[in-house]
């Protein structure tokens, strides 16, 4: 069976602190105050059933390369990449509709970027 890759641009996350000005970028975005929790949801749209599929989460900071953060399955299996810990990042995945929610606790300005999710077999 050939490789089926589906990538979904989820959202840009922007962090602000007191006194900073905000502009509204085009497209899907989430704006959070520093120290709050951000919830980013993705849903993979496909006609193919994917039992036990993993959804991979990626972060792209301004001016930097795309970096994989973690991958998550509906069986609560989460594999974290080196720079991402379970203290600040968590993901839940549901097989029924191939959706996932990435939670980022205590957001900082370092979390500003574009987040992607992907699923493949």
- Of the segments 13-17, 26-30, 55-59, which one has the largest average pLDDT value? 55-59
Residue 40 pLDDT exceeds 60: yes
CATH classification of the domain holding 49? 2.60.40.10
- What is the 3-state composition of the chain as percent helix, strand, coil, each rounded to the nearest 5? 0, 50, 45
Does 23 reside within a domain?
no
Does 88 reside within a domain?
yes
pTM of the predicted protein model? 0.76
Does 22 reside within a domain?
no
Decide which of 6 and 76 is more confident: 76
Decide which of 91 and 13 is more confident: 91
Which residue segment(s) compose the domain that 47 sits in?
5-17+28-120
Does 13 reside within a domain?
yes
Q: Is the dihedral of CA 49, 54, 60, 64 positive or negative?
A: negative
Decide which of 90 and 74 is more confident: 90
Q: How many domains does the chain have?
A: 1
- Quick: pLDDT tens for 80-104: 999 998 899 999 888 777 788 899 9
What band does 47 get if pLDDT is binned at 50, 70 and 90? low
């Amino acid at each position: 069976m050939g490789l089926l890759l589906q990538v979904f641009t989820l959202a840009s996350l922007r962090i602000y602190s007191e006194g900073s000005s905000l502009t509204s970028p085009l497209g899907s975005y989430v704006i959070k105050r520093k120290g709050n929790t951000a919830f980013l949801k993705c849903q993979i749209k496909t006609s193919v059933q994917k039992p036990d599929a993993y959804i991979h989460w990626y972060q792209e900071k301004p001016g930097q390369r795309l970096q994989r953060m973690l991958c998550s399955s509906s069986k609560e299996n989460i594999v974290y990449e080196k720079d991402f810990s379970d203290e600040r990042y968590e993901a839940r995945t549901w097989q029924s509709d191939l959706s996932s929610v990435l939670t980022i606790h205590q957001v900082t300005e370092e979390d500003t970027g574009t987040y992607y999710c992907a699923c493949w077999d």
